[in-house]
Structures are given as C-alpha cells and as structure tokens.
Structure 1
Amino acid sequence: MKPELEISPLTATPDTRTQLAAMLVETVAHGGSVGFMYPLTPEAAAAFWDGALGAAERGERIILGGWNGEQLIGTVTLILNTPPNQPHRAEIAKMMTRPQWRGQGVAAALLREAEALAVQNGRTLLVLDTASDEGAAGLYEGAGYIFAGELPDYALKPHGGLTGTRLYYRRLGQK
C-alpha cells in the first residue's frame, strides 16, 4: 500500500518528539546504522531529538518528516550549520523510514525535498555518508549522488560488529 505522503519541516511538538523517538528506536532495533547502539531506550532517543529539534529552531538544520495521515513514517535531516569556509554546502543525515513503509518511495521523496531546501538556503553541494553494510547506497546512487570513497571499520553496527561507511556528494543546480 502506497502512503499518502505529506512532507513538512518538523517542530518540537510533543507528538512529533514521541513519534521521532519511536522511529529512531525502531530503526536501531532493525539494524539501522544511524549513530546508536541496540538496545536504544526511548528516553535516549527522545533526548537526541530534543537536541536536534532545538538545533532546528536555531536554524542550524531542517528536520523533514514524511507523514501518512497522523503517522510519521520517515525523516531526514539537512544540516546547515557548517564552518565559515563552507557556507556553500550542507549535509544529509538521519535518513530513516519506518520498516513497514520501506520501498514505497518515502526516502526518495524526503531526499528530493531536502535537496530543494538546500538550494533555497543557497547550498550548491550536499554530502552524506551511509553504512557499507545494509546502508542506503542504492537510494543515493539512484538519486544522482557520486560515490567518493569508503572508510573501512568506521562504526559499530547497532547489534555489534564493525562496518565501513560510504561517502557521497551531489552538486546542486547543475545538470
């Protein structure tokens, strides 16, 4: 079943915070390499999102949510807070789709919206990384991101064991 996807920037409402935390816990439990280890407590997930949503309120990032009705089914973060010598770039981070909605175009739609917002914010280069094992390389390559290299043994997988990370970039506003 295809979602009736609505994408919007997220703010720190109690419901959004709760749904983001639940999605992060679920993603980690399913092996998603998003910076956390299993088991991830709902409290730790909520604390992460409190900080991230605070950064969004300060204009340091944009957190997008993909909604199917009242259910948050995907998210991606566009990090805008870069060093002074890098005002032209942004970073894609924390791409997550709830497991039951994967393969339905949610992540691709979130990525396209993040790219459009990057352009609106004067960014011409996007960078990202994804786990070498079970990461989203296919999504990013299909969206036109260029593989820049791989770092071996970069991070622990949520359930243990090392994985590398694949680095990607995409120039915006160019054909």
Structure 2
Amino acid sequence: MSPFAIKPLDDTPQIRNGLGELLVETVASGGSVGFVHPLLFDDACVFWKDSLGSAARGERVVLGAFDGEVLIGTVTLVLKLPPNQPHRAEIAKMMTRVSHRHRGAATALMRTAEQLAVAHGRTLLVLDTAVEDGAAPLYEKLGFQLTGVIPDYALKPHGGLTGTMVYWKRIGAVAIPSS
C-alpha cells in the first residue's frame, strides 16, 4: 500500500497553487509536459484553473498525491474524447516533485487513474511520454504496451527536440463491438 494519499482535486486556491508550483518545478527540471522553461507561476496556475474547471464539468479527473498535507504529485485522466471513442481515456500530465521521485507516488497515481477509468466504463488507456527523460520504465512496469515512437515531436523544456513514445493498455472488461 502506498504511503501517499491519492484523491481527486477540486479548484481551490491552495490546490491550484500547489499544482502551479509542481508544474513550474517539473518544467524547470526538464520534464516534457507541454511547456517550456522558464514557465511563469501565474501561467501554470491559469493552466490548472482551466484543467480543474474541465474536471468540475466531468470531462477529466485531476488526481493528487499527498505526503501529509503537501501535494507531491499529480496525473490527469482525460475522459471527454470524440463521440467515436467512448471506450477509452487518456493519461496526461503525470508529475512528481523531484524530492519524491522513485518512492511510489507515480505508481499509486497511475493505479488510481486506471481504477477510475474502469469505473467510468473505459476499456482502453493511452498516453505518451518523451523519449528523453520520460516515464517509459514506469508505464512499461504497469503493463502499458509501446505502439511506437514519433521523432522530433515536441520541444524539450530547455530547448531542442525530443520524440514521443506512444503507449496503450487494455483495462476492465473489454467490450466487443456490435456488428
């Protein structure tokens, strides 16, 4: 059992600030999560305000990992996808504070996200991660299958291009399409 408390997050100033700090730290330390360095704290908080608003509408779930009262990690389960994809969800914005990496928080976040996806009737999870310094070993340990690599997919936070690795995993009871 994880020593970290994992729970869905609501949009409060304290949560938004904690997520903003985590995003700024992740980007500053080279994490490829859609932003470049330097990332302003206010810009990070605007991103999380939008993301948490989407969660309030049921379009996603933003999970947080807590060490006591301190937010030390997050992952987002994206549920709102096009009408022809009601069976799948996407994993996004997996981040853990540098001080808490390799201690089980990311694994606990991913397991909770998978359980929530199953509870929402999803049978397929997809995600991508940077080739350089991404979380591929974690995802593979959790049973995700590599589909392939797209070269030069995104800018790294400190410059240069990195490829992305695309992963998938079947979860829950797999639905059989009707003919």
Q: In structure 1, the residue corresponding to 2:77 is in which secondary structure?
A: strand
Letter in 2 for 1:157: K
Percent pairwise identity: 61
For 1:1-40, what aligned pairs fall within 5 Å after superposition?
Answer: 4-40=3-39
**What does residue 177 of structure 2 align with?**
none
Report runs of 4+ in structure 1 exceeding 3 Å deviation: none
- Checking the alignment, whether the CA contact within 8 Å between 1:4 and 1:69 is kept in structure 2 is no
TM-score by length of 2: 0.95
Offset of 1:139 from its aligned partner? 0.3
> RMSD of the TM alignment (CA)?
1.1
Distance 1:7 1:137 in 2: 22
**What does residue 80 of structure 1 align with?**
79
**What does residue 46 of structure 2 align with?**
47
**What does residue 67 of structure 1 align with?**
66
- Checking the alignment, whether the CA contact within 8 Å between 2:122 and 2:172 is kept in structure 1 is no
Letter in 1 for 2:73: G
TM-score by length of 1: 0.97
Q: Deviations over 1:95-150 (max 9, x none)?
A: 00000100001101100000000000000000000000010000000000000000
Q: In structure 1, the residue corresponding to 2:76 is in which secondary structure?
A: strand
Distance 2:54 2:39 in 1: 22
Distance 1:143 1:110 in 2: 11
Offset of 1:14 from its aligned partner? 0.8
**Where does the alignment leave 5 or more consecutive residues of structure 1 unmatched?**
none
Offset of 1:174 from its aligned partner? 6.0
Distance 2:68 2:101 in 1: 17
- Give the paired residue count: 173
Offset of 1:40 from its aligned partner? 0.2
**What does residue 155 of structure 1 align with?**
154
Letter in 1 for 2:170: R
Q: In structure 1, the residue corresponding to 2:122 is in which secondary structure?
A: coil
Letter in 1 for 2:128: D
**What does residue 139 of structure 2 align with?**
140
Offset of 1:91 from its aligned partner? 0.0
Distance 1:174 1:61 in 2: 21
**Where does the alignment leave 5 or more consecutive residues of structure 2 unmatched?**
175-179
Letter in 2 for 1:14: P
Distance 1:30 1:106 in 2: 18
Q: In structure 2, the residue corresponding to 1:139 is in which secondary structure?
A: helix
For 1:91-102, what aligned pairs fall within 5 Å after superposition?
Answer: 91-102=90-101
**What does residue 173 of structure 1 align with?**
172
Offset of 1:4 from its aligned partner? 3.2
Distance 2:161 2:78 in 1: 25
